Amino acid sequence: MTTMIWRRLTAPLLLAICTLTAHASDDETSSWTYNALGEKAGIAAIVEDLLVNIANDERIVVRFADADISRLQRMLNEQFCMLSGGPCVYTGDSMRESHRGKNYTQAEFNSLVENLIHAFEANDVPLAAQNRLLGKLAPMNADIVAQ
């Protein structure tokens, strides 16, 4: 009984590990994520919901008090479009430059991520596309927190 269960697990496990190692570079060329996000209109709706969520989030809204919201909105649209493989170029500053001196906490960054996830969910973004974009955004944490 025991050995049967573990034997049965081995194949899916190996498959998972192979998928994991083989995956990494296949979406640079494809625009699957961009399509799954709903292209330009879909991304615009997600960004708008994200900004509304931030405006309603007392934990971090104060951090956006002096921000140029329409520019922020434009930059987020460009960034999400480019990161998802869409036909856009991000024209803003690097993450490190644009967050320098702000000394954002990890908690504030996490709150932003939560607001983004809620925006994904409100727009019925497929989980795979959510995860793929989050995976692109996650490493930016180092350039944003405690700068």
Residues forming contacts to another protein in the complex (CB under 8 A) are: 1-2, 5-6, 9, 13, 16, 19-20, 23, 59, 105-108, 110-111, 113-114, 117, 126-129, 131-132, 134-135, 138-139, 141-142
Q: What share of the chain is helix, strand, coil (3-state, %, to 5)?
A: 70, 0, 30
CB nearer another protein, residue 49 or residue 108 = 108
Kindly tell me which of 21 and 70 has the beta carbon lying closer to another protein. Answer: 21
Q: How far is the CB of 102 from another protein (least distance, A)?
A: 15
DSSP secondary structure of 84-136: TT-S----S--HHHHTTT--B-HHHHHHHHHHHHHHHHHTT--HHHHHHHHHH
Min CB(19)–another protein separation in Å: 5
- HSE toward the beta carbon, residue 1, CA cutoff 13 A: 0
Minimum CB–partner distance for residue 70 and another protein (Å): 27
Closest contact distance (angstroms) between CB of 120 and another protein is 10
